[in-house]
Structure 1
């Protein structure tokens, strides 16, 4: 992979999201001469993270764990131990990743996930900053197009119904706020990257935190959205790339997305294993006119990486475009 260098100080790039898409971008960015901050969702309540959240009353650690590994300079053996997930016949520990348990323990020791993650980042030799979007576990709410509402990320995803909007609340049912370092990083950023990841359950849970959404809109940074390759059942069925951006803009009340990265390579027919990847339905359609009507610059290319009968973003290709964009910004001309 080509490494981009800059004559001035390292560009500050803030990546906001969650799920499996975020580490793909971070793995590529850490090879570049950039200052990385990852802002990670804390509204996940499924899988091992959900079980730990329910029984230990801490922020769901799964997305944070994967991001820390992506940015860690640890030897591969240490990363593998941190990522190790106990087998199904291990009873009490079944399905839990060791890293999730460590993050949960540190959260109790430090009386909050933010300080816990900073301590663990030092220990894991993380290249950059990993910031939980809030210092407590948040609850995701979803309103569907039929007027019904559900609470909880896992419940919303499992409903497989058309979503109209989502929002998050804290443990008291009130609007949460991010800690100040998150806001400071966004306001100081040269580039803000959203995604790739689930629109309603990985990206918007961060942006609907009041002061994060406001900071993203007020920042002078270029806001880049990496559009998903495949639609997701119940979340984005039949969505075009312009529909994804339209939902983001609607949630924040303005056209804040500056640039969209769109994959134009077709996923071969009969390649996808829809049983294994049962949350996806079909490839995202294109509506370049709809994107331009929302004042978006469109960068379309082959960002596709086929792996394990699934369609993913090619992290190196995505990062190459991000570097081109930040390299031609006003700050780094």
Structure 2
């Protein structure tokens, strides 16, 4: 009984040893992957050792080197008498290479231990380098929108590419952003704050910090830390664009966040009952049916960096987000709409899952598309991503009490508008029945469609 137990234990230990050895060998070979720029430096290191040895030999006139070589020749002669040269030679070469790899591995391990932040998972440096290389070779993605929908999407996209540009509306005039806009004359930082937190490497901690709202203090109550941070940076750097760029460096943001315009934009909407409502926060509260939307000043100039990003984009995504107060305000900047229309990159619109009271009550998918087309005067995207399944009964009841319902897919009307339909399960419901897009699922579906569209365009 005991012999069988010992045999089983030995077999288990051997299997674990083989797995560890296999893992270590795999990690070594990863350093030889193309694009890591390790092989060339390894060869240069070896050449340096050889040259240094030759230089030492010349300097000391070969006297000690000669006797060392004589000793090695005698030693190797003994070895070759015991083992043939076609066996002893490869064995010595293999032993030398193993020593070299072991030394390099220990060196890299020591560097990794120093560079790895305290508390970070035991991730190999080569895996970090490979992930970094993959992300920074990813497609150039431009995402246009605002609100929580845009930041949700960015959380998923940043795991596929670091070449992300989020173009964000600056029409917000409610809450903390609105107060800062009135008191300091700065552009509203709220949506930009959310995007910066979503793209940051330490997202969880930064999100908590940036979303922290002061609950006491004269003038501080209701303000978020992130909004105050960006306001201070705007004052220090001179404008919001520089403030966001500087903040991105401080926060190690993966990608970039750009305001659609640096103009002080104010939204207005004409309702079906003839009323004209001004102010982004006032439009949903008016409770009417929107028939036209615009901004003051009309035709604001676009941020040049935003236009450059759109022209260079491999992939353009519009939404998700509030149709009239998050998405369309970006497209009211004519240069942005023109750049999107002229782009040859795949373009897709991510439709909202639920209608929004005061903006899109009763809207179908085709109604969302028509509203965007009407605001821009042209067709800006090729396909629309729609959630496939209905939310749970608990969520439906919760939203129905707020006069909000799932956006109905009127397939024939969408196809008549010349749009392809991408159906997928991309919904996330929290514990209280709040419906959102799932960042990982959404990003995975968007990249799958991009790969297919990109291949199709290549053919």
- What TM-score results when the alignment is normalised by the length of structure 2? 0.67
Q: Residue 382 of structure 2 corresponds to which residue in structure 1?
A: 258
1:130 aligns with 2:254: no
Provide the secondary structure at the position in 1 that maps to 2:395: coil
Separation in 2, partners of 1:34, 1:288: 34
Separation in 2, partners of 1:191, 1:62: 25
Q: 1:47 aligns with which of 175, 178, 184?
A: 175
Asked if 2 retains the 8 angstrom alpha-carbon contact of 1:8 and 1:332, the reply is no
Separation in 1, partners of 2:275, 2:135: 53
Asked if 1 retains the 8 angstrom alpha-carbon contact of 2:399 and 2:405, the reply is no
Greater RCO, 1 or 2 (C-alpha within 8 Å, sep 6+): 1
Separation in 1, partners of 2:353, 2:337: 24
Q: Residue 297 of structure 1 corresponds to which residue in structure 2?
A: 420
Separation in 2, partners of 1:123, 1:240: 42
Provide the secondary structure at the position in 2 that maps to 1:53: helix
Where does 1:212-291 land on structure 2 (aligned, <5 Å)? 212-272=336-396, 274=398, 278=402, 281-291=404-414
Residues 28 and 332 from structure 1, CA distance in 2 versus in 1: closer, same or farther, beyond 3 angstroms? farther
Separation in 1, partners of 2:205, 2:337: 38
Separation in 2, partners of 1:79, 1:316: 17
Provide the secondary structure at the position in 1 that maps to 2:147: coil
Cα distance, 1:154 vs structure 2: 0.8
Where does 1:58-207 land on structure 2 (aligned, <5 Å)? 58-74=186-202, 76-87=204-215, 89-169=216-296, 173-207=297-331
Cα distance, 1:57 vs structure 2: 0.7
Separation in 2, partners of 1:277, 1:188: 44
Separation in 1, partners of 2:310, 2:436: 27
Cα distance, 1:27 vs structure 2: 0.3
- Give deviations 1:137-188, integer Å, cap 9, x for gaps: 311111112232111001112101100121222xxx3421111110010111
Provide the secondary structure at the position in 2 that maps to 1:15: strand
Query: Relative to total residues, which structure has the larger strand share, 1 or 2?
Result: 1
Separation in 2, partners of 1:37, 1:252: 21
Cα distance, 1:104 vs structure 2: 0.7
Asked if 2 retains the 8 angstrom alpha-carbon contact of 1:196 and 1:227, the reply is yes
Separation in 1, partners of 2:293, 2:375: 8
Provide the secondary structure at the position in 1 that maps to 2:372: helix
Separation in 2, partners of 1:45, 1:276: 27
Provide the secondary structure at the position in 1 that maps to 2:423: strand
Asked if 2 retains the 8 angstrom alpha-carbon contact of 1:60 and 1:137, the reply is no
* Farther off after superposition, 214-223 or 267-276: 267-276
* Farther off after superposition, 90-99 or 291-300: 90-99
Kindly report structure 1 stretches of 4+ aligned residues shifted beyond 6 Å: 5-8
Structure 1 unaligned runs (5+)? none
Provide the secondary structure at the position in 2 that maps to 1:20: helix
Corresponding pairs, count: 325
- Give deviations 1:249-274, integer Å, cap 9, x for gaps: 12111222201110121112233574
CA RMSD of superposed structures (Å): 2.3
